[in-house]
Amino acid sequence: MSISKPMAAPLSAPADPSTFSAADGQETPAHFGPDEAIARVTAVDRDQYLIRNATGEIPARLTGRAAYTSASAVDLPCVGDWVRVRMHDDGGHASILAVLPRRSFLRRKRPGSAVEFQMIAANIDLAFIVQSCHFDFNVRRLERYLVLTSEGQIEPVVVLTKTDLIAAAELEQLVAQIRQAGIVARIVALSNVSGEGVEAIRDLIQPGQTCCLLGSSGVGKTTLVNRLLGDEGLATGAVSQSGEGRHTTTRRQLIPLLGGASLIDMPGMRELGMLDVSEGIADSFADIRALARDCRFSDCTHEREPGCAIRRAIAEGEVDAEHFRNYQKLLRESAFHEMSLHEKRDKDRAFGKLVRAAGKAKGRRQEY
């Protein structure tokens, strides 16, 4: 079963050495030094990297210069990045010299109290947002994923797994809930038992594209990866009596698929913190934004003002009240974290000025 909408134009295929040009602000092989090449990051483990080039997958390390010139952790290589590397020992390992410009990205607020970004993956065309029909279905969480993908310029596809555990009428109700929330993304229903829906997913992945799987632990992501690979190459955990599988993916990794596409598998994410995602929220809640333009007052707070188009739409059943409340919640969360981020940057700049001033004062004392 596939519930679709007109497909947006896909992003360009993943870059290879011949497609990088100085006109795009990127480095070209012609400007590379001896033993330098372009490769793609397939896995990250602290300061250890795996990269893939034309000959296969090899280990790599980030050079000290590249690490020092990175303004923040966001600038460090992540899974899916294209990087400029220098090969060593006849191609046995490599040094990462620079991260090439990203054309799309997936990031979130770093889990915990720190107000900073965490890069998840880069250069993704399609994000399959996976939710189980049986235990994991949550429209509010789905909206969070859609904000993140929209902010990163990634096309989303909603995948409802374990349809074999519910009746057809229940599946229709779940799809209706998604549509009532104003979500227009393509929806694919997937049976983990029969594999129905896998071909629909496979048809969406074009040669040269990179896709990723997003979702909580145990919703069937690894089972889907195995079906897309055409084998049982990745281990899956046992399924509990509730239908909840045990998550086995322990790190993000880029996997080549038949036909020249790539898939990024990743562990389930418990926290989806919003940070600097105003554009993603605007895109994901376009229905709310459109209604707000019909409010009598341009500065309507949608609380008690007369002539509020959003309150009228909720009262008449045109808009789901929970959908609107989640929109307000995500706006407040993003604004709060963004304010904290600006305050942190201001403090860092002030501290930097203090350190530089102290250094200059010390230099003047030494002159005397």
| Domain locations in the chain as residue ranges | 2-9+104-265, 27-99, 278-346
Q: Are 196 and 224 in contact (CB under 8 A)?
A: no
Does the pLDDT of residue 194 top 50, yes or no? Answer: yes
Q: Are 146 and 178 in contact (CB under 8 A)?
A: no
Across residues 235-254, what is the average pLDDT?
Answer: 55
Question: From CA 164, how far away is CA 171, in angstroms rounded?
Answer: 10
Question: From CA 358, how far away is CA 78, in angstroms rounded?
Answer: 36
Q: What one-letter code names the amino acid at 216? A: S
C-beta atoms surrounding 39 within 10 Å: 24
Cα Rg of the chain (Å, integer): 23
Of all residues in the chain, what percent carry a pLDDT higher than 90? 42
Across residues 86-105, what is the average pLDDT?
Answer: 92
Q: How confident is the model at residue 345 (pLDDT cuts 50, 70, 90)?
A: low
Does the pLDDT of residue 229 top 70, yes or no? Answer: yes
Q: What one-letter code names the amino acid at 349? A: R
Query: What is the reported pLDDT for 343?
Result: 63
Across residues 8-24, what is the average pLDDT?
Answer: 38
Does the pLDDT of residue 208 top 80, yes or no? Answer: yes
Query: What is the reported pLDDT for 11?
Result: 32
Residue with more model confidence, 334 or 271: 334
pLDDT in tens, 117-150: 788 999 999 999 999 998 889 999 999 899 999 9
Residue with more model confidence, 13 or 137: 137
pLDDT in tens, 267-320: 777 666 666 667 778 888 889 989 999 999 988 889 888 999 999 999 998 888
Query: What is the reported pLDDT for 275?
Result: 65
Backbone angles phi, psi at 71, to 5 degrees: -70, -30
Does the pLDDT of residue 8 top 80, yes or no? Answer: no
pTM to 2 decimal places: 0.76
For the ranges 155-164, 217-226, 265-274, which has the lowest average pLDDT?
Answer: 265-274
User: Which CATH topology does 2-9+104-265 take?
Assistant: Rossmann fold (3.40.50)
For the ranges 196-205, 224-233, 305-314, 323-332, which has the lowest average pLDDT?
Answer: 224-233
Residue with more model confidence, 231 or 137: 137
Query: What is the reported pLDDT for 289?
Result: 87
Q: How confident is the model at residue 69 (pLDDT cuts 50, 70, 90)?
A: confident
Does the pLDDT of residue 330 top 70, yes or no? Answer: yes
Residue with more model confidence, 151 or 108: 151
SS3 256: strand
Residue with more model confidence, 112 or 96: 96
- Angle (CA) 254 152 53, round 5°: 30
CATH of domain 278-346: 1.10.40.50
Mean pLDDT of the chain: 80
Longest dimension (CA), the chain: 86
State both tokens at 329.
């919640």
Query: What is the reported pLDDT for 358?
Result: 55
Does the pLDDT of residue 258 top 90, yes or no? Answer: no
Backbone angles phi, psi at 317, to 5 degrees: 80, 15
Does the pLDDT of residue 354 top 60, yes or no? Answer: no
CATH 2.40.50.140, applies to 27-99: yes
